[in-house]
Amino acid sequence: MKKRTVRQIVGLVLALVMLSAFIGCSKDNAKTGNPKPQESAKTGTGGKDSEKEKGPLKFSYMSTIWGVHPQDGTPIFDELMKRTNTEIDFHWYPTDQYQEKVTAILGSDNIPDVLSGGGTARLVDEGAIIPLDDLLESHGKNILAQLTDDDYPYMRSARDGHIYTVPFILDFPPAYAMQVRKDWLDNVGITKMPETWDEWKTVWKAFKDKDANKDGDATNEIPYAGDVYSLLPAFGINVSSKIGFTVDSGGKYTLMYEMPEFRTFLKEMQSMYKEDLLDKEFATRGTFVDNPELEKVLSANLVGSVMTWAANTRSSTEAMREIDPKAAMIGVPPIKGPDGKQGIPSRVRVSPTASITIAGEDKAEKIIDFFNYVFSEDGIKLMSYGLEGTHHEIKDSKPVLKEPYINSFDDARKAGLNFTPFPHLFTEDAYMQITTGGKTYEELTEPMQYFYDALYAGKDFFFTPVPTLTTDAYSEKQADIMPKLEAMVAQCVIGELSVDDFYKEYDKLKPIGLQDILDQGEKAWKKISK
């Protein structure tokens, strides 16, 4: 759909609505002598309300929803609406149907005022959403105050550098951890925790040769499980997905394949695969996403080490202790690679969430005022801890979540806490209260202590991953180029391609789209990372 088509349709509808409202208001004022309603209350400056309108701010909000997140409102949302004098008409749709629903809505005369999801690049191309930069500067100071320099590349559009969304922010950097079976180290007689690349290779070889899981079969251990991409930070290539965009030492946005360190990485992976140190199923057992196949081998007492979600230390330990009561998967600092490089990806703080559409353009300032309150001190406290006396109580001047909301994330979300389909900031403190069930470290079970320790084991080596920028070239060519690159890496690791042949095949992809992806990505990065 062309930009002008969406604008014309919605513009016509808005014009008719505004004309009708004007006529209605004129009649009412003529009868009663009442003046027009005042401008919307400014609800977002430090959490304080200024002038209240006679009527509430009303807008429609469309989003996907999942899991146990409630669709029918909660006391938390009721309180938020009361504080801000707002009424929101929510329209929720299942995740698997959402893209089709967005397409249908964009082609209709019923576009919501606020649209969450649907693909920012697509919505920008359609002309369906408006840039928020100036609105945030003038009405969204609290929102901007919560953004760090590392957040802006995720907030800005690769198309034009503008911000089009209000984010959901989870202010909790720890996510992944390098992990090793402490009991396996004991079984093979290694007393020093490995740190360097050579020390880790010694550990992996011992796991392979010495029946580390003590099941009588010295051939079924997987010294390092998951995909090979999780080992890239040890070579100075900081990525958090197999797509492989990163920023090199000179600040250039590029693909990992362009970095000289990637050649060294491929040679090491070939060597490890040949020596049976790598997972033979590395191509299908992912690390950075939830992968049932990886979970199966972890739970089956077959994996000696892995880099994945820190929570795996708890879940795998609990599952394996049904087989071996001494099982202990623990978090350790990330591997120090051949050149002394170390890194572990941190959680991406911001998720671009809600955009104001052209249907909501006339009330955009008031909508940003509303979200500015959500990101105020009082708004953050409400969305993270709920209502005092109901969801939390104050102890030592700090909010402490109550049962059952502290028992699990499902229990918290059922009550409307950590409501991720809606923009807000969820604090590290609230996250950890739910993670630990409100217990002190000493009160935690041993597997939960492993999880807690793993979250912070790599804190000195966190790096913020860079986003995959949806440039025109990437949108048009990635479906052809990226799977070929992934297949070539796998072929090289298992020895079907030499490292030199890998780069010959790599260069062949440049004239058919890869070079355009690189060039446009670099140009877009300069625009959004200022």
Reference 401, options 374, 364, 445, 436; nearest CA is 436
Residue 15 has pLDDT above 90, yes or no: no
Write the pLDDT tens digit of every residue in 80-91: 999 999 999 999
CATH fold match for the domains 3-168+351-394 and 176-345: yes
pLDDT value at residue 29 = 37
CA-to-CA distance for 173 and 240, rounded, in angstroms?
A: 14
Mean pLDDT over residues 39-60, rounded?
Answer: 58
Query: Residue 285 pLDDT more than 60?
Result: yes
Among 48-62, 118-132, 214-228, 386-400, the minimum mean pLDDT is found in 48-62
- Which residues lie closer than 8 Å to 336 by C-beta, 6 or more apart? 195, 196, 197, 234, 342
What's the mean per-residue pLDDT of the chain? 90
Alpha-carbon span 519 to 472, nearest angstrom: 11
Judge residue 131's burial from the number of C-beta atoms within 10 Å of its C-beta, 0-12 exposed, 13-18 middle, 19 or more buried: middle
Residue 275 has pLDDT above 90, yes or no: yes
**176-345, what's its fold?**
D-Maltodextrin-Binding Protein; domain 2 (3.40.190)
Summarize pLDDT for 440-488 with one digit per residue, the tens: 999 999 999 999 999 999 999 999 999 999 999 999 999 999 999 999 9
> How is residue 140 written in tokens?
């969204």
Report which secondary-structure segment, H or E, holds 514.
Answer: helix 514-528
Query: Which of residues 22 and 63 earns the better pLDDT score?
Result: 63
pLDDT for 54 equals 64
Is residue 342 within 8 Å of 461, Cβ to Cβ? yes
Q: Are 276 and 494 in contact (CB under 8 A)?
A: no
pLDDT confidence of residue 12: 38
**Does the global pTM surpass 0.95?**
no
Yes or no: domain 3-168+351-394 corresponds to CATH 3.40.190.10: yes
Contact 349, 361 (CB under 8 A): no
Whether the bond between 404 and the residue before it is cis, its omega within 30 degrees of 0, is: yes
Burial of 196: CB neighbours in 10 Å, binned 0-12, 13-18, 19+: middle
More confident residue, 241 or 5: 241
The domain segmentation of the chain, as residue ranges, is 3-168+351-394, 176-345
Report the pLDDT averaged over residues 124-148: 97
- pLDDT for residue 281 is more than 80: yes
Is the pLDDT at 25 greater than 70, yes or no? no
Task: Write the DSSP assignment of 217-260 as a string of letters.
Answer: -TT--BSBBS-GGGGGGGGT---SSTT-EEE-TTS-EEEGGGSH
Q: Does pLDDT of 324 surpass 70? A: yes
* Nearest residue to 107 (alpha-carbon basis) of 128, 93, 88: 128
**199-217 tens-digit pLDDT:** 999 999 999 999 999 999 9
Using the predicted structure, report yes or no on whether residue 45 has a pLDDT greater than 70. no
Torsion angle (degrees, nearest 10) of CA 107, 112, 113, 117: -90
Confidence band for 6, pLDDT divided at 50, 70 and 90: very low
- Across 260-278, average pLDDT: 97
Q: Is 331 exposed, middle or buried (0-12, 13-18, 19+ CB in 10 A)?
A: buried
